[in-house]
Amino acid sequence: MSEAKKPLLHVENLKQYFKISRTFTTKAVDGISFDIYEGETYGLVGESGSGKSTTGRSIIRLYDPTDGKIIFDGRDISKKLSKEDASYLRTNMQMIFQDPMACLNPRKKVKEIIAQGLEIHHVCSSQKEVDEKVYAILEKVGLSKEQATRFPSQFSGGQRQRVGIARALVMNPKLVIADECISALDVSIQAQVVNLMKDLQEELGTTYLFIAHDLSMVKYISDRIGIMHLGHIVETGTTDEIFTNPIHPYTKSLLSAIPHPNPIVEKNRVAITYDKEKEGVDYTKGVQHKLTDTHIVLATDEEFARWTK
Ligand SMILES: Nc1ncnc2c1ncn2[C@@H]1O[C@H](COP(=O)(O)OP(=O)(O)OP(=O)(O)O)[C@@H](O)[C@H]1O
Ligand SMILES: [Mg+2]
């Protein structure tokens, strides 16, 4: 299905290094490649420090990538941005963050916060049009007109995340990068917010890069998943491929960490541990091995033969 379509986002051998000192560099993202197709959700999963946020921030160009290619909607955005490309990026790619309180200006009313992007980028021709867009998106995320004149501190965590979603979606972006946007919420609220995001995606056709370390929620929202570890995508596939036929030992360990809802099964769940050093895996030596058009594993020939035996 997906190979006939053109990707909305094409990432090729992306590297994002941080020079910590004269002798030390953190390779936060170390040569990752993946595509995201229009209208789909790509889940990026991995433990803390694996480079997920750096990937998102690099793509939206909060950083200058060290190396590699980022093609967004046919435009190369990996090098110095032209004024036109920068403006295209600022309107068509939006980010939703983990902690909305940290990124919502506490002194501004919700209405003003949501309108900000529209105003900065002169998306509307009149104040009336701005107001209309703001009220329309508020309604879509389930907030009332009355709530629009309140301040972020007067909202619950789940409501604030709705404001974050409204602020991103009011721009009618092609791609939304959601970085752990539900991790700080109660589990019941997480499901609500994920459902809201899914509904809005269906209605607006938005594409999502959904970053998380909780595979269970990712399973529910993603069409395809990339498993990230120490700056590398070690395995990628459709959600079904990742859950029913995981190949990489790191993917298996992540899957084995998900608690099972059935207490009898849960009692017998064995968490698989994975130690890269012990197993002697060197990601820089691996190449992309294809199981299907969509299912790809990073491995040496020997590892691939062993893991698929
Ligand atoms: N601005 C920066 N300067 C230096 N090092 C950084 C910077 N940002 C991230 N890193 C390092 O890069 C690595 C990847 O960090 P990143 O935040 O991308 O991980 P993550 O997968 O998002 O983790 P988490 O699940 O905890 O959010 C970490 O070792 C981190 O310390
Ligand atoms: Mg992160």
pLDDT of residue 241: 98
Residues with beta carbon inside 6 Å of ligand 1?
18, 26, 28, 46, 48-54, 213
Ligand 1: residue whose CA is nearest its atom 24: 48
Q: Where are the alpha helices (DSSP H) in the chain?
A: 52-59, 83-92, 100-103, 110-120, 127-140, 157-169, 187-204, 215-221, 239-244, 249-256, 263-267, 276-279, 301-307
Please provide the distance, in angstroms rounded to a whole number, between the alpha carbons at the two ends of the chain: 28
pLDDT in tens, 89-111: 999 999 998 876 777 888 999 99
Q: b or e along 272-293 (b: 16 or more beta carbons within 10 Å of the residue's beta carbon)?
A: eebeeeeeebebeebeebeeee
pLDDT in tens, 227-239: 999 999 999 999 9
- DSSP label at residue 3: G
Q: Are 297 and 227 in contact (CB under 8 A)?
A: no
pLDDT band at 4 (very low <50, low <70, confident <90, very high): low
pLDDT in tens, 175-201: 999 999 888 888 888 888 899 999 999
Give the orientation angle of helix 110-120 with respect to helix 127-140, to 10 degrees.
120
Q: Which of 26, 66, 229, 250 to mutate to test the pocket of ligand 1 (most atoms within 8 A of CB)?
A: 26
Q: For residue 26, which phi and psi values (nearest 5 degrees)?
A: -90, 125
Predicted TM-score (pTM) of the model is 0.94
Nearest-atom index, ligand 1, CA of 20: 4
